[in-house]
Amino acid sequence: MAHDLLLLAGDGIGPEVMGEVKKVIGWFNANGMDFAVEEDLVGGCAYDAHGQAVSDATMDKALRADAVLLGAVGGPKWDKVPYEVRPEAGLLRLRKDLELFANLRPAKCFDALADFSSLKRELIEGLDILIVRELTGGVYFGEPKEIRDLGNGQKRAIDTQVYDTYEIERIAAVAFDMARLRDNRVCSMEKRNVMRSGVLWNEVVTQVHQDRYGDVQLSHMLADAGGMQLVRAPKQFDVIVTDNLFGDMLSDVAAMLTGSLGMLPSASLGAPDAATGRRKALYEPVHGSAPDIAGQGKANPIACILSFAMALRYSFDAGEAADRLEKAVESVLAQGVRTGDLLGPNGGAAVSTAQMGDAIVAALGAN
Ligand code: NAD
C-alpha cells in the first residue's frame, strides 16, 4: 500500500529545501518504495492564497495523511498580518488539531562536522541521542497563569506546572517505543526532589516501564544533573524523556552539541490510531524560513532531508531506508561537500541547495 505523505513547503527557504526532499522521495519511489505525495500551502503563502495560515481543506488532508512534512513558515512580508492568521498560526493549528503531544529532537554528530561543536571532538564523535519532550502540558499551559496585582505596590506572577497520569503515561510510551527502534535505553528526567509533578512523573514512568516495557533499560536523573551530563558526557544517553519545560531547554542544549541549524530535524507525534496503530505525525526542520538567504539557492537542505529520514523510521517502519539516507548524508559530508552554513572559519567553496540535494541522491544510489 502507498504511504500517503503531505508536503507543506511553506515560506522563505521552505520550498527550496523541500525541493531537495522531493528528489530523495523520487529516488525511493524508483527503488521499491511507494510514496503518494500531495502538496499544499501553509504559513504566509496560505494567507496570501486563502486569508488563513492553514485552510480547513489542508487540515483535512493533514488529518488523513500518514505523515506531514513541513518546510518552514514566516517572513517579514507577513509581519503586519492579524495575529490569528500570522504564518506561525498555521503551524500551531497543525500541532493542535493533530494532537501532537510528543516532540522528538535527535542530536546526531556527523564525524565530518565534529569540529563545529563547542565540545571537544572526542566527547561528541559518534553521538546519537534523541530527546523526547512532552509538548502540550506542563507549566506552559497549566492554570492559573497570571500576574496578580497585590495592591501594595507588588505584583505576583503565577505559572502552574500540572501533569495528569495519562499525559505522563503516553509520553513515556513514546519514549520506550522510540528506544526499541534505537539502542533500547531511556533516561527519564524530572525534579522529584523539589516538585510534586516530578514525583508523579517518576512514579508513572516507572509503572509504564514495569507494565509494558520491561525489555527497555530505564534510568532516572534529576533534570539539572541531566543538563550537566549532556555537556559533560553526552554519549552516555540514548533516549531522554522529559516534560515540556525541561525538554525545551535540554533539547536546545543537545541540538547545539552538533553545530549548525541547517542540520537539525524534528518530529512531533500524536497518539496511535486505534485501528492502524500509526501515530499522527508532523516532521519539520528546526530552522525557520531564513529570509536573509531565501531565493538564493544557499539554504542547507539537510535538516529537511533528515526530517524525512525520521518519517521513514517513525511513521513508515522503514528503518533500513532511514539508515541508508542518513549514511548518504554522512558520506556526502565526508567528501567535503558543504553548503555555506557548513564552511566554518576556514572558508572554502560552497555548493548550492540543489547541488547538495543532488549529491545526497547520488550517494543514495552508490551506497
Ligand atoms: P531562521 O532559523 O530562519 O534563521 C536563523 C539563521 O540561520 C539565519 O541566518 C539563516 O540564514 C540561518 N539558517 C536557517 N536555516 C538554514 C539553512 N537550512 N541553511 C542555511 N542557513 C540557515 O530563524 P529566524 O531568522 O529567527 O526567523 C526567520 C523567520 O522564520 C521568522 O519569520 C520566524 O518567525 C520564522 N521561524 C519559523 C520556524 C518554523 O517554521 N518552524 C521556526 C523558527 C523561525
CA of 362 to the centre of ligand 1 (A): 27
Is there an atom of ligand 1 within 6 Å of 289 CB? Answer: yes
| 115 given a catalytic annotation | no
CA of 155 to the centre of ligand 1 (A): 36
Q: Residue 242 forms beta bridges with which residues?
A: 133, 189
Atom of ligand 1 nearest to the CA of 303: 18
Q: What is the pLDDT of residue 256?
A: 83
Residues 6+ apart with CB under 8 A from 113: 258, 259, 260, 263, 333, 342
Task: Indicate if the pLDDT at residue 258 is higher than 90.
Answer: no
Task: Average the pLDDT over 336-348 and give the result.
Answer: 87
Q: What is the pLDDT of residue 115?
A: 85
| 191 given a catalytic annotation | yes
CA of 51 to the centre of ligand 1 (A): 23
Q: 76, exposed or middle or buried, with CB in 10 Å at 0-12, 13-18, 19+?
A: exposed
CA of 148 to the centre of ligand 1 (A): 36
Contact criterion met (CB below 8 Å) for 233 and 123: yes
Q: What is the pLDDT of residue 88?
A: 94
pLDDT in tens, 14-63: 999 999 999 999 999 999 999 999 999 999 999 999 999 999 999 999 99
With the CA atoms of 89, 274, 171 and 145 taken in that order, what torsion angle do they form, in degrees rounded to the nearest 10? Answer: 50
pLDDT in tens, 160-189: 999 999 999 999 999 999 999 899 999 999
Q: What is the pLDDT of residue 367?
A: 65
pLDDT in tens, 90-115: 999 999 899 999 999 999 999 889 88
And the C-alpha cell for 160? 502552574
**Confidence tier at 260 by pLDDT (50, 70, 90):** confident
Mean pLDDT score of the chain: 95
Q: What is the pLDDT of residue 245?
A: 96
* Stronger pLDDT, 131 or 117, i.e. the higher one: 131
pLDDT in tens, 47-60: 999 999 999 999 99
Q: What is the pLDDT of residue 239?
A: 98
* Stronger pLDDT, 255 or 121, i.e. the higher one: 121
Vertex 189 angle, CA 183 and 192, to 5°: 150
Our mutation pick for probing the ligand 1 site, out of 100, 289, 338, counting the most ligand atoms within 8 A of Cβ, is 289
For ligand 1, atom 35, which residue shows the shortest CA distance? 288
Task: Average the pLDDT over 277-305 and give the result.
Answer: 96
- Domains of the chain by start residue, with CATH: 1-109+260-367 (3.40.718.10), 128-257 (3.40.718.10)
